[in-house]
Chain A
Amino acid sequence: MDKYELRIITWTGILLVIFLVSVLRGVSKYATDLPECIPYDASFTAPRISQLDDSTYQVFMLAQMWSFEPDEIYLPVGAEVDFYLSAKDVVHGFHIAGKGVNMMAVPGGINKTTTKFKEPGIYPIVCHEYCGSGHQHMKAEIIVNYPKEN
């Protein structure tokens, strides 16, 4: 190994450590993480919205060919939501762009993530896994206090 090779190995090591530290820091500082998986329990697969207190909600979302249930979710600004996701038939996706909410809905599995809606607006939910010929028509939205009420 010559000195240039040693140098490049060192730089590579440093670079990878920087990357890793950034990844871990991202998780702790912004309190983001990958979805949490919950042991399967059929009660999680019944679609519903429940309000725990003023600003905390649970949404039990069921994806199916080719719709989401519930498909309109009204929330106040600042609501913190636990999404529980499952699939009735085949695999679907669940993506809220810009919120980092990105999960797979897999039959036989329960997925969970938590996010907070600080800005009013309409947040479309997109199914981003191919789920058959109607895949592109799957539709759901989260309406956060919009249009703004005064």
Chain B
Amino acid sequence: MKFNIDKGFKRILLLLLSVPLVLLSLGIYHGLMQTLYRSGMISQRTFAALDYYQGLTLHGVINAIVLTSFFAVAFGHACMSYYLNMKVRNSVAWLSAGLMIAGTLMASWAMLAGEASVLYTFYPPLKAHPAFYIGTALLVVGTWVAYFDWVTMYIRWKRKNKLVKTPLPVIGTLVNFTMWFVCSIPAAYELLVMLLPWSLGIVETINVPLARTLFWFFGHALVYFWLLPVYVMYYAMLPSLAGGKLYSDNAGRLVFFLFLIFSIPVGVHHQFGEPSITRGMKLVQSILTFGVAVPSFITAFTIAASLEYASWRRGFRGGNYFGWMLRLPYFDKERYLFSYLITGLILFIFGGLTGLVNASYTLNSMVHNTAWLPGHFHMTVAGPVFLGIIGMSLYMLERISGKTIRLKRLAVVVPHLWMFGILIFSTGLMAGGLRGEPRRTNLGLSYLNPESPLFRPDWVLTTGMAVVGGVIMFAAAGLFFIVLIDLLLVKKTETSHLEFPAYEVLHDEPRVGILDNFRPWLVIMGMVIALAYIPVFRDIANLTGPGAKPYHPENPVPLELFEQPNEEIK
């Protein structure tokens, strides 16, 4: 089924898909640079006008916040209108896109001006320019605006289709944004009520443990916000791309609703090493984190079963248990989207397993804040999430612009090369992390500099491995940009439209009321969050000391005593 789109909607989608892709060139460039600094090949604070930590802030903000939220909104617009066969209100979509772009521009200015080298987690007492906080908040509010419109669409649709199963991609999109809306309220509070007045000097001090906890209330759900659009692709599109059908549609519904419950009340697993939260609550949230493993295992099974079914339809005749894996169209240039999704899925196996290590309470002490962590999450956010985003962006751009890519072979090579690169890159980082290599550190200045008293010869090999992987990933991303730029040069041959791979289900069970109704899940969600977080906030209120004054990242003297830190240091 083709869904024709009008000019306004086409422009909105093009804008939302291309703004982050343009910024991504900077994000990817600095990814490679980070591996070079970390290996000691660059032993400087700054290279080509970008400071290490300034570049790392850009890398995190662009890749993990701007790219993911722009894509989630664009893909959400497309799923809501395509699967409900209804129009998104262009005026609202423009408002949403406008806020997101304005916010991105403000935050980018602050980062590029070197006024916000505080990394994408913006932990106080390091202080950024107020434009960074306002910009980030605008970006988030822009996504809310799109979500509000989708909710009204869904309500209108449901009124007319009471007993029709809501299409799975619509459930996925709404679950994702509901979770996102709830989790970003505390983040907005942190940004606008705590950080902004403090950065403007209106308020003198800030409660650091509280700010960190509000951030991580948001932070774990953030990683699911990255992931769920890709889950929609895995459930609704991957089976038919492979030549099969989705094994069970109710499994998919259950999985999405479980994410509504388990995504938020687990944020403390990022704070295992922190004071002001007692061990009891850390253990409770660690166990809840294992709860998230349930939807992940259901997904692993359902998708594997769907792919196996595809394999039988493609001529697999049994024999051994894993033989079906060989029968999938990994390199079929006529369906490059399959390659992006399957390579992401393969990486996600390792990403998920290493994630279980991180979640395992005391085991976390072996890896927390070491290079293990970026090793792990490049197999999630730079794995399935990133590959799903760029593959689907290419797929949607083709249809929205009415063109077809010419460099199909190259488009298929990209995800395989990227996966190969990541596997080397992450192995290097994780091995280094187990030897104590810290993350978020310009290692080349000290630990990987033979002249420094801090030199660590045991990290030479692991950081070198990350360089090798990083170069391969960089090359893969370069090829992707070539495919994309070539698409710009192609002539339009079709009208602008949206179309997704067919959604077909093997066991098409009847509608189950509870799997088609948000209300009970929202109630459980609220209760679990309250149980998991009220004691945490009480701990913080009881255990925390005085608040903290703002600091500029380049100066150990509090800002109030020293207003122009930049000039003095250089």
Chain A residues packing against B (C-beta within 8 Å) = 1-2, 4-5, 8-9, 12, 15-16, 19-20, 22-23, 26-27, 32-42, 64-66, 85-86, 89-91, 93, 95, 97-98, 100-104, 106-111, 124, 126-137, 139
The listed residue (B209, B290, B446) touching A137 by CB distance below 8 A is B446
Tell me the bound Cα distance from A57 to B369 in angstroms: 27
Tell me the bound Cα distance from A26 to B366 in angstroms: 13
15 A-B residue pairings within 8 Å (CB atoms): A5-B301, A16-B294, A33-B279, A33-B362, A34-B279, A85-B275, A89-B125, A102-B368, A106-B208, A129-B369, A129-B440, A132-B551, A132-B552, A136-B443, A137-B446
Q: Is B370's beta carbon under 8 Å from chain A?
A: yes
Tell me the bound Cα distance from A27 to B286 in angstroms: 13
Q: A1-B248, A109-B276, A133-B51 are in contact. List 4 more A-B contacts (CB 8 A).
A: A5-B251, A34-B365, A128-B439, A131-B126
Q: Is B558's beta carbon under 8 Å from chain A?
A: yes
Q: Is the CB of A102 within 8 A of B545?
A: no
Q: Is B454's beta carbon under 8 Å from chain A?
A: yes
Which residue on A lies nearest to B509, using beta carbons?
A1
Chain A residues contacting B106 (CB-CB under 8 Å) are none
Chain A residues contacting B275 (CB-CB under 8 Å) are 35, 37-38, 85-86, 103-104, 106, 109-111
Q: Is the CB of A65 within 8 A of B298?
A: no
Chain A residues contacting B123 (CB-CB under 8 Å) are 90-91, 129
Q: Is the CB of A32 within 8 A of B365?
A: yes
Tell me the bound Cα distance from A56 to B253 in angstroms: 56
Q: Is the CB of B546 within 8 A of A23?
A: no
Which residue on A lies nearest to B125, using beta carbons?
A90
* Min CB–CB distance B355 → chain A (angstroms): 12
Chain B residues contacting A41 (CB-CB under 8 Å) are 545
Chain B residues contacting A35 (CB-CB under 8 Å) are 273-275
Q: Is B85's beta carbon under 8 Å from chain A?
A: no
Kindly supply a per-residue 1/0 record for chain B positions 27-70, scoring 1 wherever the CB is within 8 Å of any chain A CB and 0 otherwise: 00000000000000000010000010100000000000000000
Q: Is the CB of A4 within 8 A of B273?
A: no
* B518-570 at interface with A (beta carbon < 8 Å): 539, 542-548, 551-556, 558, 569
* Min CB–CB distance B281 → chain A (angstroms): 10
* Min CB–CB distance A109 → chain B (angstroms): 3
Interface residues on B, range: 35 or more
Q: Is the CB of B293 within 8 A of A23?
A: no
Chain A residues contacting B370 (CB-CB under 8 Å) are 95, 97, 128
Q: Is B93's beta carbon under 8 Å from chain A?
A: no
Q: Is the CB of B547 within 8 A of A95?
A: no
Tell me the bound Cα distance from A16 to B552 in angstroms: 44
Chain A residues contacting B368 (CB-CB under 8 Å) are 95, 102, 128
Tell me the bound Cα distance from A128 to B555 in angstroms: 18
Chain A residues contacting B456 (CB-CB under 8 Å) are 124
Q: Is the CB of B556 within 8 A of A137?
A: no
Q: Is B84's beta carbon under 8 Å from chain A?
A: no
* Min CB–CB distance B425 → chain A (angstroms): 19
**Given A23-B362, A34-B273: A65 and B556 within 8 A (CB)?**
yes
Q: Is B438's beta carbon under 8 Å from chain A?
A: yes
**Given A35-B275, A38-B275: A102 and B366 within 8 A (CB)?**
yes
Tell me the bound Cα distance from A104 to B370 in angstroms: 12
Kindly supply a per-residue 1/0 record for chain B positions 270-310, scoring 1 wherever the CB is within 8 Å of any chain A CB and 0 otherwise: 01111111110010001100100110011001000100000
Chain A residues contacting B305 (CB-CB under 8 Å) are 4
The listed residue (B212, B363, B569) touching A26 by CB distance below 8 A is B363
Chain A residues contacting B294 (CB-CB under 8 Å) are 12, 16
* Min CB–CB distance B458 → chain A (angstroms): 10
Q: Is B453's beta carbon under 8 Å from chain A?
A: yes
The listed residue (A9, A27, A109, A126) touching B544 by CB distance below 8 A is A109
Tell me the bound Cα distance from A100 to B454 in angstroms: 21
**Given A19-B360, A89-B556, A107-B125: A37 and B365 within 8 A (CB)?**
no
* B121-136 at interface with A (beta carbon < 8 Å): 123-126
Tell me the bound Cα distance from A109 to B207 in angstroms: 10
Q: Is the CB of B293 within 8 A of A93?
A: no
Q: Is the CB of B208 within 8 A of A12?
A: no
Q: Is B462's beta carbon under 8 Å from chain A?
A: no
Which residue on A lies nearest to B207, using beta carbons?
A108
Chain B residues contacting A109 (CB-CB under 8 Å) are 208-209, 274-276, 543-545
Residue among B124, B208, B364 with max Cβ neighbours from chain A (10 Å)? B208
Q: Is the CB of A132 within 8 A of B126?
A: yes
Tell me the bound Cα distance from A42 to B545 in angstroms: 8
Q: Is the CB of A108 within 8 A of B507?
A: no
Chain B residues contacting A132 (CB-CB under 8 Å) are 126, 551-556
The 3 tightest CB contacts between A and B, nearest first, are A97-B436, A40-B545, A109-B275
The listed residue (B208, B271, B438, B443) touching A107 by CB distance below 8 A is B208
Residue among A9, A37, A111 with max Cβ neighbours from chain B (10 Å)? A37
Tell me the bound Cα distance from A92 to B271 in angstroms: 13
Which residue on B lies nearest to A134, using beta carbons?
B556
**Given A27-B362, A128-B369, A133-B553: A39 and B543 within 8 A (CB)?**
yes
Q: Is B447's beta carbon under 8 Å from chain A?
A: yes
Chain B residues contacting A111 (CB-CB under 8 Å) are 273-275
The listed residue (B208, B276, B290, B447) touching A16 by CB distance below 8 A is B290
Q: Is B361's beta carbon under 8 Å from chain A?
A: yes
**Given A39-B543, A65-B551: A139 and B436 within 8 A (CB)?**
no
